[in-house]
Structure 1
Amino acid sequence: MPTPTVRQAARVVTLDENDRILLLRYEENGGFWATPGGSLEPGEDHRTAALREVREELGIERVDLGPQLAVRSKEHLVGGRQVRQVEKYYIARVRAADVDPERATQPDDIRTWRWWTLTDLSTIDQPVYPIGLGELVAGYLVNGAPSSPVELTG
């Protein structure tokens, strides 16, 4: 089996003023919820890509992107091709009222979006990526950003 292509990506753990987490529902690969984000374009760094993805997927023009919280490496299908996606996760605070998917320019396979509390995340019976997102956010809310990015699995 050939080695999967490496795909660099940036994702944004988006919190509102009530510490709710914004997740997007994707229908590919059986359906799942995930944070906003996607692959880097040529010449982009991860922070630039994260800001672009928030603009494209959420319709938010200005975001104060915080520190990197985590990194995740996972093999999965993208467009029918096996890739090893390496994702860097950043934190951002936004006002819930500023999220406007009607202004989104790249909705991809996003079917809907929803704000989730940490309690909601602990009881959901649908796939949420990355695995451990609730614990990551809970740790951030109590202790702030980690001194080095947490390595997530799954």
Structure 2
Amino acid sequence: MTDGVSDPGSEGNVPVRDVARGLVFDPAGRLLLIAYEAVRPIDPADPEARTFWFMPGGGLEPGEGHVAACRRELEEEIGVADAPIGPLVAVCDGPFHLFRTPRFARERYFVVRLPDDRIDTRRLAETEDNPVLGTRWWTPDELAATSERIEPAGLAALVRTLADGTLPETPVTLTWHPTAQKG
């Protein structure tokens, strides 16, 4: 829950960060993702490639639960106050090294269905430690077909299931792409 605390299972003794993120859908079933510039190449074969896409959300503040953190982060990043936070549908735990501050991330992902696709990202860049390149609504088919780097791995398959209205019985375990795990 706090930055700067080592996790015995983490690699390289990086700080632990508990994170809540929203799988934010609009009424058309599209998922909102944010493009960031990574601090290191995301593909060893292409040293210039540094763009990756991620869900809105962020770290828990002291004493804050995951749902409250997700709601707060969505207001800060996409300007949606009092977002309807749905069920926990996925988790991803492990070292993550694409942001400026490496961390052992313990991420929890919640379904968020908005009544429309209106968002306000004017404050987004000021809340992030990596350069924000933009936002985009993705259809499940676009996510499945893209060559863009989407974090975490397995997100496209989960989104397709959720867009069809099916919720997993237990949270799905996702993983970071290998280059996101290495410092």
TM-score by length of 1: 0.89
1:36 has 2:46 as partner = no
Matched-pair contact (CA < 8 Å) for 1:56–1:106: no
Q: SS where residue 88 of structure 2 aligns?
A: strand
Which is greater in Rg? 2
Match of 1:8 among 7, 15, 18: 18
The count of residues paired between Structure 1 and Structure 2 equals 154
**Structure 2 CA distance for partners of 1:105 and 1:25, relative to 1, 3 Å:** closer
1:146 is aligned, of 168, 171, 175, to 168
CA distance in 1, matches of 2:133, 2:119: 15
1:54 equivalent to 2:74? Answer yes
Richer in helix (by share): 1
Q: Could you tell me which runs of 5 or more consecutive residues in structure 1 were left unpaired when the two chains were aligned.
A: none
Gaps of 5+ in 2: 1-10, 40-49, 177-183
Which residue of structure 1 lines up, in the alignment, with residue 154 of structure 2? 132
Q: Distance in 1 between matches of 2:36 and 2:93?
A: 19
Deviation at 1:95, TM superposition (A): 3.4
Distance 2:140 2:64 in 1: 32
- Percent of residue pairs bearing the same amino acid type: 33
Q: Deviations over 1:119-145 (max 9, x none)?
A: 111121221012111111122233522
CA RMSD of superposed structures (Å): 2.0
**TM-score (structure 2 length as normaliser):** 0.76
Distance across 2 between alignment mates of 1:94 and 1:83: 30
CA distance in 2, matches of 1:14, 1:104: 15
Deviations 1:58-108 (A, max 9, x none): 011121110000000121237644321010000001134431113658442
Q: Distance in 2 between matches of 1:5 and 1:102?
A: 29
The equivalent residue for 2:121 is 101
Q: With a CA cutoff of 8 Å and minimum separation of 6, indicate the structure with the bigger relative contact order.
A: 1
From the two aligned structures, give the one with the greater strand fraction: 1
